[in-house]
Amino acid sequence: AQKITQTQPGMFVQEKEAVTLDCTYDTSDQSYGLFWYKQPSSGEMIFLIYQGSYDEQNATEGRYSLNFQKARKSANLVISASQLGDSAMYFCAMREGLDSNYQLIWGAGTKLIIKP
Amino acid sequence: SAVISQKPSRDICQRGTSLTIQCQVDSQVTMMFWYRQQPGQSLTLIATANQGSEATYESGFVIDKFPISRPNLTFSTLTVSNMSPEDSSIYLCSVEYYAGVPLRTDTQYFGPGTRLTVL
């Protein structure tokens, strides 16, 4: 079974609109962390935001926020006021356990294209 | 966060040859990782490279094909040996360290990647 599922292979969004990228996860661990990364066409992977399983509040970082619904096992990335530079691949990843002894498990990614 | 550089940024190689990719970090880190990203795919972990010990390879990756060196806490190399067109990928190194407030977790940061094409 897939541990990380990103159901949207691709999305088109009008510039300045908000966009939600879906991520659902599967784990029986109580301690885990969820990460989102952005990969522009240049190929680099850019860390965006993190949510720990014990964090009571949704993580926010500038225009990025994470809609964390623990009971539904979803950790959707919300980008407010989208910009042309947001066009990229976005990957959701999970670590089961909270320290570096555990590897990141990666989703398949969502390709986001922002239309002018 | 740490500044991570990779060399080369891209290369086009002939089958049967080898390419060594360098990863340099501007601060000392214990945990370094090498990933492969085949075209249109997600990331696949090749190996974990900790200074002072042999690299730990994931299933499907072997040392003869992907030898790794980690001579110190700021540098690592990955060699792709006896290349075939199936090795055409982006190769990414990453480092992991405790990111402190407000994240309070070990977080991976990536280099810019090496885009390899094998003809």
Q: Which residues of A touch B (CB under 8 A)?
A: 33, 35, 37, 42-47, 50, 52, 91, 95, 98-100, 103-104, 106-109
Structure tokens at A69: 């619904």
CB contact under 8 A, B112 and A50: no
Instruction: Measure in Å the smallest separation between the Cα of B112 and chain A Cα atoms.
Output: 4
Q: Looking at beta carbons, which residues of chain A come within 8 Å of B109?
A: 47
CB contact under 8 A, A44 and B104: no
Q: Cα dihedral sign for B64, B94, A95, B37? A: negative
> Does the structure show a pLDDT above 90 at A26?
yes
Cα–Cα distance measured from residue B73 to residue B68, given in angstroms and rounded to the nearest whole number: 14
Task: Supply the DSSP string of chain A, one letter for each residue.
Answer: --SEE---SEEEEETTS-EEE--EE----SSEEEEEEEE-TT---EEEEEEETT--SPPEETTEEEEEETTTTEEEEEESS--GGG-EEEEEEEEESSSTTS-EEE---EEEEEE-
pLDDT of residue A1: 65
CB contact under 8 A, B42 and A46: no
Cα–Cα distance measured from residue A108 to residue B90, given in angstroms and rounded to the nearest whole number: 15
> Which chain A residue shows the shortest CA-CA distance from B95?
A100
Structure tokens at B19: 């390419």
pLDDT of residue B52: 79
> Does the structure show a pLDDT above 70 at A59?
yes
> Which chain A residue shows the shortest CA-CA distance from B39?
A43
User: What's the mean pLDDT in B8-32?
Assistant: 96
> Which chain B residue shows the shortest CA-CA distance from A48?
B109
User: What's the mean pLDDT in B53-77?
Assistant: 94
pLDDT of residue B50: 85
> Does the structure show a pLDDT above 70 at A100?
no
pLDDT of residue A93: 97
| Residue whose tokens read 């992907």 | B66
Interface test with B, best of A47, A90, A95 (most B CBs within 10 A): A47
Structure tokens at B15: 């089958």
Question: Which H or E element spans position B65?
Answer: none
pLDDT of residue B97: 79
